[in-house]
Amino acid sequence: MCRFLAYRGSDMFMSDLITQSEQSLIRQSYKARERAEPLNGDGFGVGWYAPEIDAIPCVFTSITPAWSNRNLHRLAGKIRSCCFFAHVRAASRGLLVSEVNCHPFQYGQFLWMHNGSIGEFGKIKRRMRESLNDETYNILQGTTDSEHCFAVFLNELLPHLDDYCVQTLLDAMLATLKHLNTWAQDAGISDASHCNFAITDGQNIVVTRYVSDPTQEPPTLYISSGERFESHNGEYRMITSNSHPKAVIVASEPLTEERSDWSLVPKNHVVVVTPELHVRISAIES
């Protein structure tokens, strides 16, 4: 299993979520609390937006473990952003550790991450590729189930960019899940697919917590929102907002000791975060 986080809100240093706190994504990557298999040493990636420059996110990935990557530590402490993704990878058995397989995947203004795995991916990989039009087909660079899911998502999304809003993102996400279910059924696949997907355009964020077999549990997914996420006396907390939140974090595990800062997203639900930081959680119909 991988780990990820998505941030949207006022400008914030990436280091506050990724490298600094005791519960930061990197610390989690080598000392897990909620996972039986703690290790996320098979590469990492961060992607962030600098809207004052342009709409295309900047991505930094590496195949070395995040915890010892000096470039990541230096960059995270210098880069402030209103929207960023971070991901630490535990390579699925048999999948390669390669820069092209590091999340987040980027295309145009979009970033994509995945925590989980597609059941018996080899049996539908070819069908997934064949479903793609030429544009999305040629986007594929690697071999992971995660990137192939991104291609399926883009194949749904790109024809609708003319009339684009957050609902367009959401529709493409739900259509992707539907396709995956259909193809798995057609291929007689019995293994479940674990599909915690995250997509952003730099403005909106959509994240699913989904497992295709309702008798199983998908990976965890938590939300925290408030005035700001900051450190007091060395301990990070989400500071409560009196009015409208100015910071929203969606993460595979809580990033603070204080669990009351975090709510668990229910199974087979999708989270939508808008530019105004409205958070909407709704059930995914199967």
To a copy of itself, the closest distance from the beta carbon of 65 in angstroms equals 5
Q: Which of 2, 82, 102, 195 is catalytic?
A: 2
By beta-carbon proximity to a copy of itself, the closer residue of 36 and 163 is 36
Binding region for a copy of itself (CB under 8 A): 30, 38-39, 41-42, 50, 53, 58-65, 67-68, 70-71, 74-75, 77-78, 80, 91, 96-100, 122, 125-126, 129-130, 134, 137-138, 140-143
* Shorter beta-carbon distance to a copy of itself: residue 52 or 276: 52
Phi/psi zone of residue 55: left (φ > 0), alpha (ψ -120 to 50 degrees), beta? alpha
Closest approach of Cβ 227 to a copy of itself, in Å? 21
| Contacts by residues 256-265 (CB-CB < 8 Å, ≥ 24 positions apart) | 256/21, 256/23, 256/224, 257/22, 257/23, 261/224, 261/226, 261/237, 262/222, 262/223, 262/224, 263/222, 263/223, 263/224, 264/220, 264/221, 264/222, 265/207, 265/209, 265/221, 265/222, 265/223
Residues 6+ apart with CB under 8 A from 16: 229, 230, 231, 236
Minimum CB separation of residue 4 from a copy of itself in Å reads 19
Q: How far is the CB of 228 from a copy of itself (least distance, A)?
A: 17
Q: How far apart are CA 99 and CA 103, in angstroms?
A: 9
Radius of gyration of the chain from its Cα atoms, rounded to whole angstroms: 18
Q: Closest CB to a copy of itself among 45 and 226?
A: 45
Looking at the Cβ atoms of 79 and 273, the one nearer to a copy of itself is 79
Whether 102 is catalytic is: no
- What residues are labeled active site? 2
